[in-house]
Chain A
Amino acid sequence: MGKTLAEKLWESHVVRSAVGEPDLIYIDMHLVHEVTSPQAFEGLRLAGRPVHRPDLTLATEDHNTPTDYTLPLIGTSSIKDEVSRTQIEALRSNCAEFGVTIYPMGDAEQGIVHVIGPQLGITQPGMTIVCGDSHTSTHGAFGALAFGIGTSQVEHVLATQTLPLDRPKTMAVTVNGELAPGVTPKDVILAVIAKTGTGGGQGYMVEYRGSTFEAMSMEGRMTVCNMSIEWGARAGMIAPDQTTFDYVQGRDHAPKGADWDAAVEAWTQLRTDDDAEFDAEISLDAADITPFVTWGTNPGQGAPLSDIVPFPSLIEDESERVAAEKALQYMGLEAGTPLREIAVQTVFVGSCTNGRIEDLRAAAAVIEGHKVADGVRMLVVPGSVRVRKQAEEEGLDKVFIAAGADWRQAGCSMCLGMNPDQLAPGERSASTSNRNFEGRQGKGGRTHLVSPLVAAATAITGHLASPADI
């Protein structure tokens, strides 16, 4: 019997396999940021252990960094919060002590860890990539096995460049057909999560297959794979193809010359064999997918924008019904309200889900010639310094600023409440990020997850909307 892509990636990284023990898996690249690494470096120090492969370890600063465009980003003086500043300084001194390459705030290569790997060409097909961050699944878009790990595992990878892991099962998510205008990769993954629930992918390495994913750009594929963790999947991946190779070729860390040819030959084998079997399969029809938004407090609580806030009383499963009641209470929503009538105070475009150049272009195209509605603030936060510079070269910053939006520096920003960009209690946002958990964007904040197109249209109208509504 043939093998799936996930099985091929797994088997090519087994260092050691023994009955009754987890496989020891080699890690090709370890990405590090300031939040989940300090205790791991401290553990190495206490045990007197070095970083085994500093050359396969890359650090950047993203979660704590301020994004206010007026701040000087050299040094750490722009970080007003002392605890945040200490954490950033700890990463810098740990990288210096252990010989790890770091792109600090103010550097031309700084950005969200899942944005800088691909843009540097460090993320390549066939790799294993880990990071102390659950959205590491993003890199699976290149046909890599990529997943988030906890701090104990960060320490383990630093010390050994390996991880002992039990092999997850495999699942195929197949979507075929062309997406209608205004429907984006974000809508596809939100629809998948609403279908499966937040635990549907638990224990699986997921491969996204079918013509809908094949037609997506690398940015779109990254958006899909990024949110794999939001339905519990251990990893999400898409088989590499010409789109992948074209994206990687010529980037700083991409193989060159004869190495490139050897790499492409190896990468071309990274496909699920025709006679391979998945442990589970689900499928959706692209024609059924429309702009999708969330109404609740987990990413599975979503619905088409044309729908209404659901009636919890109609939900059969008891724990889901209770969760929906609690979510509506937290969100301050009444069942039966058309989703289009929900007014927001803040719109956030950015994050490792939708902070890439294609996302900014899409949002700018909608908002050009319009104004952000009265009483609404719109933050546009590029995923990296490179994305910011490219957007500025294309004049996108001017489009956003002319519309009354706030154009900012690169970072995780309002995706999570660790830096100054936060929602106030009760404030409601339309956000292109990945989590609508209670308090995720700031204590008491209310989040609706949306695509960049819906975010831009919402900014113009002041309530959840798609470009077709303008």
Chain B
Amino acid sequence: MDKFTVHTGTAVPLRRSNVDTDQIIPAVYLKRITRTGFEDGLFNAWRTNEPDFVLNRPAFAGATILVAGPDFGTGSSREHAVWALHDYGFKAVISPRFADIFRGNSLKAGLLTVELAEKIVQRLWDDIEDDPAIQVTVDLVERQVRWSGEVHDFDLDDYSRWRLLEGLDDIGLTLRHVDDVAAYEQARPAWKPTAISTAS
């Protein structure tokens, strides 16, 4: 996983709530077996059908921070949604509230999800619509979002922050505790089911 410390870039205002993962990347793009190259699927229906869609506007080309309404990433567990945002070039997503699975997937893939109050998100929307060139800084070290003199703290638990700052892989961390896993397995009831076929 890529490390995340401090990122500064321009931002895109996505003034929509309940952006579900079917909108972030439609199911038809999930058939691939690769881990990269999902940028063409990102918001595909909106990019195709809505000439005015914010990602179609040249003023926001090259932006690396997505600023969305509440309940971003609801629905399907598809991690492809995170990969599509990442592959398109986004480093961070700001929203008043994220769906749990999406948020977990993002933090595992090095895409920082930042929760800010709805009022602050609206102010950020207004500011970047007035001037799309505004530089927005997402600072994981200080747990702050800064732009044009505005400074807002955000919450992220210490453990997730540490993993992102160090770019650590969860599996490697868990494998340090294989003895604990073995001990747990020893104590599991023998009648717990397995997937081994019972057909003779």
Q: Does A pair with B?
A: yes
Binding site for B on A (CB under 8 A): 15-16, 20-22, 24, 26, 28-29, 35-36, 38-39, 42-43, 47, 49, 52, 54-58, 63-64, 81, 83-84, 86-87, 90, 100-101, 121-122, 124, 127, 132-134, 148-153, 155-156, 159-162, 164, 166, 168, 197-199, 202-203, 229-230, 232, 234, 252-255, 259-260, 262-263, 266, 298, 300, 319-320, 322-323, 326, 416-418, 435, 437-440, 443
Q: Let me know if A162 and B69 touch, CB within 8 A.
A: no
B180, CB-defined interface residue at 8 Å: yes
Contacts of A439 in B (CB 8 A): 22-23, 26, 45
Q: Let me know if A198 and B174 touch, CB within 8 A.
A: no
Q: Let me know if A162 and B195 touch, CB within 8 A.
A: no
Q: Which of B164-200 contact A (CB under 8 A)?
A: 170-171, 173-175, 177-178, 180-181, 184-185, 188-199
Q: Let me know if B31 and A83 touch, CB within 8 A.
A: yes
Q: Let me know if A202 and B104 touch, CB within 8 A.
A: no
B86, CB-defined interface residue at 8 Å: no
Q: Let me know if B28 and A417 touch, CB within 8 A.
A: yes
Q: Let me know if A418 and B184 touch, CB within 8 A.
A: no
Q: Let me know if A164 and B174 touch, CB within 8 A.
A: yes
Q: Let me know if B26 and A443 touch, CB within 8 A.
A: yes
Q: Let me know if A134 and B104 touch, CB within 8 A.
A: no
Q: Let me know if A42 and B159 touch, CB within 8 A.
A: no
Partner of B194 from A56, A133, A262, A266 at Cβ < 8 Å = A56
Q: Let me know if A26 and B31 touch, CB within 8 A.
A: no
Contact A160 to B75, CB < 8 A, known contacts A15-B177, A58-B195, A199-B97: no
Contact with A along B68-100 (1 / 0, CB 8 A): 011100111111101000000000000001011
> Closest CB of chain A to B95's CB: distance in Å?
11
> Which of the 9-residue segments B32-40, B52-60, B138-146 touches chain A?
B32-40
Binding site for A on B (CB under 8 A): 15-18, 20, 22-23, 26-28, 30-35, 45, 69-71, 74-80, 82, 97, 99-101, 104-105, 108-109, 118, 157-159, 170-171, 173-175, 177-178, 180-181, 184-185, 188-199
Closest 3 pairs between A and B when the two form their complex, measured CB to CB? A150-B105, A38-B33, A58-B195
Whole-angstrom distance between the alpha carbons of A151 and B32 in the complex?
13
Contact A87 to B33, CB < 8 A, known contacts A26-B181, A439-B26: yes
Whole-angstrom distance between the alpha carbons of A383 and B146 in the complex?
50
Partner of B69 from A54, A55, A319, A417 at Cβ < 8 Å = A319
List 4 additional contacts besides A55-B196, A84-B31, A87-B33; criterion CB under 8 Å: A122-B195, A152-B79, A156-B171, A159-B174
> Closest CB of chain B to A328's CB: distance in Å?
14
Query: Which residue from chain B places its CB closest to the CB of A256 in the assembled complex?
Result: B191
Query: Which residue from chain A places its CB closest to the CB of B100 in the assembled complex?
Result: A234
Q: Let me know if A252 and B198 touch, CB within 8 A.
A: yes
Contacts of A300 in B (CB 8 A): 18
> Closest CB of chain A to B15's CB: distance in Å?
8
Contact A322 to B17, CB < 8 A, known contacts A124-B193, A127-B192: yes
Contacts of B18 in A (CB 8 A): 198-199, 298, 300, 323
Contacts of B76 in A (CB 8 A): 133-134, 416, 435
Contacts of A202 in B (CB 8 A): 71, 97, 99-100
Q: Let me know if B74 and A39 touch, CB within 8 A.
A: no
Q: Let me know if A150 and B74 touch, CB within 8 A.
A: no
> Closest CB of chain B to A172's CB: distance in Å?
19
Q: Please, could you name 14 A-B residue pairs with CB atoms under 8 Å apart, sorted by A?
A: A26-B188, A35-B31, A39-B34, A55-B194, A57-B195, A87-B33, A150-B79, A150-B108, A164-B173, A199-B18, A262-B189, A418-B27, A438-B23, A439-B23
Whole-angstrom distance between the alpha carbons of A133 and B159 in the complex?
25
Contacts of A229 in B (CB 8 A): 75, 101
Partner of B101 from A90, A134, A156 at Cβ < 8 Å = A134
Whole-angstrom distance between the alpha carbons of A149 and B177 in the complex?
21
Q: Let me know if B104 and A153 touch, CB within 8 A.
A: yes
Whole-angstrom distance between the alpha carbons of A29 and B159 in the complex?
26
Q: Let me know if B17 and A319 touch, CB within 8 A.
A: yes
Contact A16 to B177, CB < 8 A, known contacts A49-B171, A255-B191, A323-B17: yes
Query: Which residue from chain A places its CB closest to the CB of B196 in the assembled complex?
Result: A55
Contacts of A122 in B (CB 8 A): 193, 195
Contacts of B70 in A (CB 8 A): 199, 319
